[in-house]
Copies of this chain bind each other. A is one copy, B any other.
Amino acid sequence: MLRSYQSVTTDIVIFTIEQEELKVLLIKRAKEPFKNKWALPGGFILENEEPEKAALRVLKNKAGVSNIYMEQLYTFPGSGRDPRGNVITITYFALAPTEKIKIQKSKETQTPTFYSLKKLPQLAFDHKKIITYALKRLRSKLEYTNVVYSLLPQFFTFNQLQEAYETILDRELDKRNFRKKFILLNLIRSTKKVHKGIRQRPAQLYQFISCRPTELKKFF
C-alpha cells in the first residue's frame, strides 16, 4: 500500500473571559506566510509527538499555562502554515481563567494579545473559521457539561458564574431560574467564605465539587 508523509500542525483556540467579554488569544506572525497577520497560536507537530502533546506544548510555550481544560476540535485540511505543501492542522480549544494565563513572548510570536470575539482583526489562514467552530462547540458544551469550571477562579460567586454563561452565550439569563437549575445540578458547593464587595452586601463564595470534565444528563 502507498505510504505518504505530510506535515501536520496544531492550532489552539484559547478562550478566556476578561471584563465580561469572551476573548481569544492571538499572536502576530513574525514569518511568512501571513507575516504580520494575526493568527492562532500553533505550530508543527514534531516527529513522534502525539498531537495532544503538541497542543499542550504550544499552550505551555505561548500562554504559559498548563493543567487547564483542553479538547480536540477538528482536523482541517491544508489551509497550511506551510505554503509549499499539503498541510493538515489538528485544532484544539482550551479554557482558562485570565489569572492563570501568563502570556509568553518569543522571537517567533510577537505581541500575543487577547481579542474580544466581537472585535476580531483580520486573521491568517482559515483561523476565522476555526474560531467560529470553537465558539459553537464551547456554547454547546456549556449546556451539557461542567466545563465552566475552567474559566472561573477556585472560589466564585453565583453572579460570576452566571456572568460567565451570559458572556459566552451572549444573552441574559434570569437570576432566579439560573440559581435553581444550577443548584439542582449538584456541581458546586457553597463555602463559608464570602466575597467582600466594596460597598454592597457580601456574596457567598462557591466552588466546584469536581474539576474534571463531566457530562450532565440535561441542562439549559
Q: Mark A residues whose CB is within 8 Å of B.
A: 1-8, 31, 43-52, 72, 74-75, 77-78, 82, 85-86, 88, 90, 108
Contacts and interface: CB of A to CB of B under 8 A. Distances in A.
The 4 closest A-B pairs by CB, nearest first: A5-B5, A50-B77, A4-B47, A48-B86
Contacts of A7: 3-6
A31 B49 CA distance: 26
A44 B86 CA distance: 14
Contact of A72 (B3, B46, B49, B74): B74
A85 B7 CA distance: 14
Q: Is the interface of A mostly helix, strand, loop or mixed?
A: loop
A107 to B, nearest CB: 10
Contacts of A85: 48
Contacts of A2: 43-44, 46
A108 B49 CA distance: 29
5 contacts: A1-B43, A4-B46, A6-B6, A8-B8, A50-B78
A202 to B, nearest CB: 39
Contact of A90 (B4, B5, B75, B108): B75
Contacts of A1: 31, 43-44, 108
A5 B3 contact: no
A10 to B, nearest CB: 10
B88 A8 contact: yes
Given A51-B88, A88-B8, A88-B51, A3 B77 contact: no
A48 B88 CA distance: 10
Contacts of A46: 2, 4
A74 B46 CA distance: 20
Given A49-B86, A51-B88, A86-B49, A44 B4 contact: yes
Nearest to A8: B6
A125 to B, nearest CB: 15
A74 B88 CA distance: 14
